[in-house]
Amino acid sequence: MSGSVVDNTVSSGNSSAAIPTDVSGQILDLDEDDDLEVFSKDTTLTDGSSFNASMQTSPASMINQYKFEEDADTKDIFVTVDNPESHVTAIETYITYRVMTKTTRSEFDSSEFEVRRRYQDFLWLKGRLEEAHPTLIVHPLPEKFVVKGMVERFNEDFIETRRRALHRFLNKIAEHPIFSSSEDFKIFLTAASGELTSHKKQGPGFLSRMGDTVKAVAAAVRGVRNRPQEFTEMQEYVEAFSQKIISLDKVTQRIVREQKEYLEELKECGPTYALWSQSEEELAEPLKNVAGCVDRCCKETEEQVKNLSDHLIPVLHEYVLCADTLKAVLRRRDNIQADFEAKTEALATKKANRDTMRDDLDKAEDRLEWANNALKSDWTRWQKVMRTDLRSAFVDTAERNVSYYEKCLAVWESFLHSQRTDAEGNGKVDFS
Amino acid sequence: MREREMQSRGTDMPTQERKLLLKKMEISVAEAEKRTGKNAVNMQETYTVYLIETRPVDAASEGTNPVPDSLWRRYSEFELLRNYLLVTYPFLVVPPLPEKRAEFVWHKLSADNMDPDFVERRRVGLENFLLRVASHPDLSSDKIFYSFLTEENGWKETVFETGFQAKADSRLKALNATFRVKNPDKRFAEMKHYGDELQSVISQLLRVRARAADRLYGVYKVHGNYGRVFSEWSAIEKEMGDGLQSAGHHMDAYAASVDDILEEEEHYADQLKEYLFYADALRAVCRKHELTQYELEMAAQDLTSKKQQREELATGTIRTFSLKGVTSKLFGQETPEQREAKLKMLETQIEEGEELVKERNAECEEFVKSAWVDIERFKEQKDHDLREALISYAIMQISMCKKGIQVWNNAKECFSKM
């Protein structure tokens, strides 16, 4: 796979040591919150200075850190996202969500926190995590709403779907052995709005990010030469998985569409039976009864459609985004390797500056080893999580479908029962 | 089931029991076959014939089980039979034939008369028609009907020989009567209105149902895609593979189950259609009543005017405008002899007129009496049949729900093994 140029998520070589203080506010055009492009997915791992404090710099210890253990029973942090509220200022209108944290971890100053965050803040957090860990897999955020205008963003259903997705996002971060100890994550959960804003302004500035992107593009064009087999297999898997999950998403959306059209027609049946009952005498009662049954089945069908839209589709959609994340992660790893390969070659061919070049090469080697191990471990982890998520989403869907049919069954059985009691009273009908 | 049902209904009317053909004879439309032949204009055509089998009831109970008598008939012959019955028994609600062309179809059913599903449903409908006629207290003893079932050759000629076509009322005449009748029996007017409503609402129901069936088909069939994708996905997974694969099979089963579901619903639609066409037969009886009533009124009106003319002639006064009166004023009076002759003619006409009125009155009364009896019988039959139809619809829905529960429980088990 050749490096694609249209990609924000490419890595780069060194970041410049002297980082200009923040110019982002002046240069980037931040109009709508969810149009904010997180420009760099900087992969600087050379010096620890631009980093979260909890990261250590020795490669060996870093590698050790990536030996994850599943510690499901010792969950010591609980995060919820709820309570969307609309904020109106002179410039813009936006939604904030309440983020509540309960934890027993010692790094936290207290055991409970409550803050308000907007979508932009989540985007920032995601960006930071990706910068710090280019070959770890960050769970996707719900998408920005691109298509329709202002009004749609504040639609109740949209907000609720987004809220659920943001909740899932934070929980995935909290459950991740590395991400959950990220300083940025902690600040996200605990800092007051002003604090968060000033913290956000730290970190590599816009210009350096630009520079890194250029370098990253160059690396991507170079391409990787000796990709280890396991990563090629991973890539093949991701390609295939991506196709399948996209298909599932499409199939499910099609089902929802067909169900809605079915519902439209079914809604006319009940009233027709009711109309008929008005011309009849003996038949009036059973006809009215049937009309009622059809109407009740309509309600159940409506709910079933909503369930699909609210529960299954968002999860499938997240995994479509996940597939893209995985592709990006693999690309970044490739770029790190390409960089190492380029430096190796340079050392072999060039005569000047051999000492600095050897230094650079060593660091590039370390970075590569680190990146590979990180990816391998997180890959295993991700597969388990994916399996759990999709399994429970489908089990849940199946359960809801069973429930839907059970409710409709009850409706029609009650109709039969009423007719049976009538018939036995009149001594007429044979049910054989 | 229908046959037994109809026989058992006969038990409410012990004296009628003996008359019912169905009590003496088993009737069925056993098969359908394609034939090709030359038609009236000497062109090749393909048509379907239906095998009518009959067997005396006693034979089966004696345990000998002889081969039934049988003959083949085309749809057009059934139509001829029905037209004959309509004309001969205008005071009866004559059972309808299954539709000539497939209507209220949803996308899967073809509207083609040669389509095997359509032919099969028509076969059932034709059998139903014969059973209905054979269990009718009056129609079952008709000779033409009997020979339809038993005489393969020459039946058509026999029907035409009855001259029934001459007795048929022209449409124009009937329409005219509908507009001009002054005092139709209120009950018939109400029945006609009911027939209109019944036809309208059942048509609407059939249309809506067909559209909903079409959509439901789509919902189920799309689930088949899950089957395909799960299967493909299972190929790239290790632990999840088995669960996905088997879940996929259940999705395929779910998608396939809709065919049976909708086929059963077609039977329900056919039951509704029968009464859609029955509504027409009901209205035909009401229209016939209007016609007989109108003819009575015409005869009475004619008589009244003749009596008036007689009076005028006798007293010499002209109370009503008449051309004769004007011309006689203009061109002079008639001679006494002419007047005598006219009076005599009028007297004869009046006598005849009174006879006619008496006749028509009797006809009308007779018609109203017989028709109303049959309408009451029809009402009871309709209430019973349609209630049964609604119950069978509920049973169908329950069956569909049970299938759904089973499939999704199976799928759930497979998913939990993912």
Domain boundaries in chain B?
185-316+347-417
Residue B33 has pLDDT above 80, yes or no: yes
Q: Which of B247, B382, B412 sits opposite A399 (nearest CB)?
A: B412
Question: What's the confidence (pLDDT) of residue B37?
Answer: 82
Q: What distance separates the 2 farthest-apart alpha carbons in chain A?
A: 108
Q: Is residue B207 pLDDT above 90, yes or no?
A: yes
CA distance A297 to A405: 9
With CA atoms as reference, report the closest residue to B217 among A164, A255, A42, A417. A255
Quick: pLDDT tens for B123-140: 999 999 999 999 999 999
Chain B residues whose CB is inside 8 A of the A395 CB are 412, 415-416
Q: Is the confidence at residue B416, as pLDDT, over 60?
A: yes
Residue A335 and residue A97 in contact, taking contact as beta carbons nearer than 8 Å: no
For A413, the closest chain B residue by CA position comes to: B398
Contact A178, A65 (CB under 8 A): yes
- Closest CB to A265 among B212, B398, B408: B212
Give the E-state strand segments of B206-275 in sequence order. Answer: none
| A412·B236 Cβ contact <8 A | no
Contact B111, B105 (CB under 8 A): yes
Considering just the CA atoms, what is the radius of gyration of chain B in Å? Answer: 31
pLDDT greater at residue A330 or residue B35? A330
Q: In the prediction, which pLDDT does B328 show?
A: 62
Nearest neighbour of A262 by CB, restricted to B219, B247, B386: B219
The strand pairing partners of B47, in sequence order, are B35
B348 versus A221: the higher-pLDDT residue is B348
Residue B417 predicted with pLDDT over 50: yes
Task: Give me the residues of chain A with pLDDT under 70, please.
Answer: 1-73, 145-154, 202-222, 422-432
A286–B390 CB contact, under 8 Å: yes
Percent of chain B residues topping a pLDDT of 70: 88
* β-strand pairing of A93-103 with A77-88: antiparallel
B216 CB neighbours in chain A (<8 A) are 262
Tokens of residue B27, six digits? 């009737």
Closest alpha carbon within chain A to B396: A412
Which of the four pLDDT bands, split at 50, 70 and 90, describes residue B16? very low
- Percentages of chain A per state (helix, strand, coil), in multiples of 5: 65, 5, 30
For an interface test with A, the pick among B3, B106, B387, B414 (most A C-beta atoms closer than 10 Å) comes out as B387
Note the pLDDT tens digit of each residue in A282-302.
999 999 999 999 999 999 999
> What ranges do the domains of chain A cover?
77-201, 229-420
Which residues in chain A have their CB less than 8 angstroms from residue B243's CB?
A: 391
Q: What single-letter amino acid sits at A271?
A: P
Query: Which residues on chain B are in Cβ contact (under 8 Å) with A262?
Result: 212, 215-216, 218-219
**Separation of alpha carbons A44 and A49, rounded Å:** 10
The ipTM (two decimal places) reads 0.87
Amino acid in the structure at residue A124: W
pLDDT, position A203: 62
Which residues in chain B have Cβ-Cβ distances shorter than 8 Å to A240?
236
Q: Do A283 and B387 touch (CB under 8 A)?
A: yes
Q: What is the pLDDT of residue B317?
A: 63
- CA dist B407 and B252 (Å) reads 10
A29 vs B85, more confident: B85
Nearest chain B residue to A253, by CA: B222
Which pLDDT score, from 0 to 100, does residue A47 have? 38
pLDDT of B144 strictly over 60: yes
Q: What string of DSSP letters covers B25-64?
A: EEEEEEEEEEEEEE-TTS-EEEEEEEEEEEEEHHHHHTT-
- Write b or e for each residue in B58-85: b if 16 or more Cβ atoms lie within 10 A of its Cβ, otherwise e: eeeeeeeeeebebbebebebbebbbebb
Residue B294 above 70 pLDDT?
yes
Nearest Cα to Cα of residue B145 among B19, B275, B45 = B19
Token pair in block for residue A302: 């409506």
Q: Which CATH superfamily, name and number, covers A229-420? A: Arfaptin homology (AH) domain/BAR domain (1.20.1270.60)
pLDDT of residue B28: 86
> In this structure, is the dihedral angle defined by the CA atoms of residues A336, A341, A346 and A347, taken in order, positive or negative?
positive
Confidence (pLDDT) at A330? 93
Nearest residue of A to residue B219 by CA position? A258
A-contacting residues of B 50-89, CB under 8 Å?
none
Are A428 and B384 within 8 A, CB to CB? yes
Residue of chain B nearest A400, judged by CA positions:
B408
CATH of the domain spanning A77-201? 3.30.1520.10
Contact B134, B97 (CB under 8 A): no
Distance to chain B for A272, nearest Cα, Å:
6
Contact between A329 and A136 under an 8 Å Cβ cutoff? The reply is yes
Q: What confidence category does residue B15 fall into, taking pLDDT thresholds of 50, 70 and 90? A: very low
Return the CATH fold of B185-316+347-417: Substrate Binding Domain Of Dnak; Chain:A; Domain 2 (1.20.1270)
> What is the structure's pLDDT at A42?
38
